Amino acid sequence: MAANHKCMSKIGYQWKSHLKDGVWSYHDHPFWTQPHEFCDMAADAPDLYANLQGADLVLFKGDLNYRKLVGDRDWDHTVGFGTALQGFEPAPLCSLRTLKANVQVGLQPGQAEKLTSHEPDWMTCGKYAVIQFYSSKAEQKD
């Protein structure tokens, strides 16, 4: 989709007015660009963690944020997303990610092996994406 597509342009105007009207607000924090995994946030950036605790849902976008969510560890693919978060749960959270790095949790037994047999570079080829949700209050499998 071209950047000047009229739908994209309309969204741009809407988002701009949401910011102008105070519907949305923008907050930066140095923690986001530091190399910490997110399970360190409560200790390293308690003000940010407390801020997120006030949210109904926290959305994370992108491969790098996913890697920080799960600590970029060599998890077994069947380890639950909640386990891999290692205590990071300021609020219910959802991650949207296109796979670009060798880490992925929350798969069914045999799913990674099946993918590997068909497409050995499935974690880095950029063709696969996942949406994963975690809430300690919701019923989880792990």
Residues that bind ligand F1X (CB under 6 A): 62-64, 98, 100-101
Identify which of residues 23 and 101 has a Cβ nearer to ligand F1X in the complex: 101
CB of 131 to ligand F1X, least distance (A): 13
Identify which of residues 66 and 134 has a Cβ nearer to ligand F1X in the complex: 66
Using DSSP's 3-state secondary structure scheme, residue 132 falls into strand
Contacts of residue 27, defined as CB under 8 A and 6 or more positions apart, other chains included, come to: 51
Identify which of residues 32 and 133 has a Cβ nearer to ligand F1X in the complex: 32
Give the chain's largest Cα–Cα span: 52
| H helix intervals, the chain | 6-20, 41-44, 46-53, 63-69, 81-84, 111-118
| H helix intervals, 23-128 | 41-44, 46-53, 63-69, 81-84, 111-118
CB of 101 to ligand F1X, least distance (A): 5
Identify which of residues 62 and 120 has a Cβ nearer to ligand F1X in the complex: 62
Identify which of residues 55 and 64 has a Cβ nearer to ligand F1X in the complex: 64
Cβ atoms of 67 and 108 closer than 8 Å: no
CB of 6 to ligand F1X, least distance (A): 23
Contacts of residue 142, defined as CB under 8 A and 6 or more positions apart, other chains included, come to: 79, 80, 81, 82, 83
